[in-house]
Amino acid sequence: MGHKRAGPAAPHQPNFRAGAVETAAYIAELSGDLALLARRSGFDTLAYLLDIARLEADNIRASGGRRS
pLDDT reported for residue 68: 61
Pairwise CA distance, residues 39 & 47, whole Å: 5
Greatest alpha-carbon span in the chain: 48
- CA–CA distances in Å: residue 28 to residues 2, 6, 51: 36, 25, 9
Kindly report the pTM of this predicted structure: 0.71
- pLDDT for residue 9 is more than 50: no
Please tell me the least confidently modeled range out of 10-19, 20-29, 33-42.
10-19
Domain boundaries, the chain: 20-61
Distances (CA, A) of 18 to 22, 24, 25, 65, 67: 6, 10, 10, 11, 17
Distance CA 41, CA 24 (A): 26
